[in-house]
């Protein structure tokens, strides 16, 4: 259960120690990639809770989403269209949706454990 958090901390540590220099102009695309990655991660968490988890889908989604988002943002810059904003909007909305679903599911599980009606919580949501 705590392994993912440990992995996250380890990743942050590796990133800080490596301190890979990113040229300022690419920082924007990297930020979109991070947003896409976050979206994939929350999607994965949601699928775990919903018992629909597939490791392949998560991994491919993680990489392709991040890369496509960065690529699209770059293309948008080249074409003079702010696709960057579209990516921010879409991923932002999806992250909040996923978070809301995760919260509801967890709340429902918790209610079930306390032998209370899960239906009531689901109706409220």
Which residues would be at the binding site for other proteins (CB under 8 A)? 1, 3-5, 7-16, 18-22, 24-27, 30-31, 33-34, 37-38, 40-41, 44-45, 48, 51, 53, 55-56, 58-59, 62, 66
Burial (CB count <10 Å: 0-12, 13-18, 19+), residue 47:
middle
What separation in angstroms does the CA of 8 have from each of 43, 85, 87? 16, 27, 24
Closer of 51 and 124 to other proteins (Cβ)? 51
Closer of 12 and 120 to other proteins (Cβ)? 12
Residue 111 CB: number of other CB atoms within 10 A?
A: 16
Rg of the chain over CA atoms, in angstroms?
Answer: 18
Q: What's the closest the beta carbon of residue 44 comes to other proteins, in angstroms?
A: 6
Q: What's the closest the beta carbon of residue 75 comes to other proteins, in angstroms?
A: 20
Q: CA 78, CA 81: separation in Å to the nearest integer?
A: 8
Closer of 60 and 117 to other proteins (Cβ)? 60
Q: What's the closest the beta carbon of residue 4 comes to other proteins, in angstroms?
A: 4
Closer of 7 and 125 to other proteins (Cβ)? 7
């Amino acid at each position: 259960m705590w392994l993912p958090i440990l992995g996250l901390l380890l990743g942050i540590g590796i990133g800080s120690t490596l301190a890979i220099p990113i040229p300022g102009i690419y920082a924007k695309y990297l930020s979109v990639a991070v947003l896409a990655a976050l979206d994939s991660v929350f999607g994965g968490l949601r699928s775990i809770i919903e018992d629909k988890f597939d490791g392949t889908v998560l991994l491919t989604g993680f990489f392709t989403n991040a890369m496509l988002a960065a690529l699209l943002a770059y293309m948008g810059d080249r074409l003079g269209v702010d696709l960057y904003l579209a990516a921010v909007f879409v991923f932002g909305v999806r992250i909040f949706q996923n978070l809301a679903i995760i919260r509801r599911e967890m709340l429902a599980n918790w209610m079930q454990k306390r032998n209370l009606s899960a239906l009531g919580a689901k109706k409220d949501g």
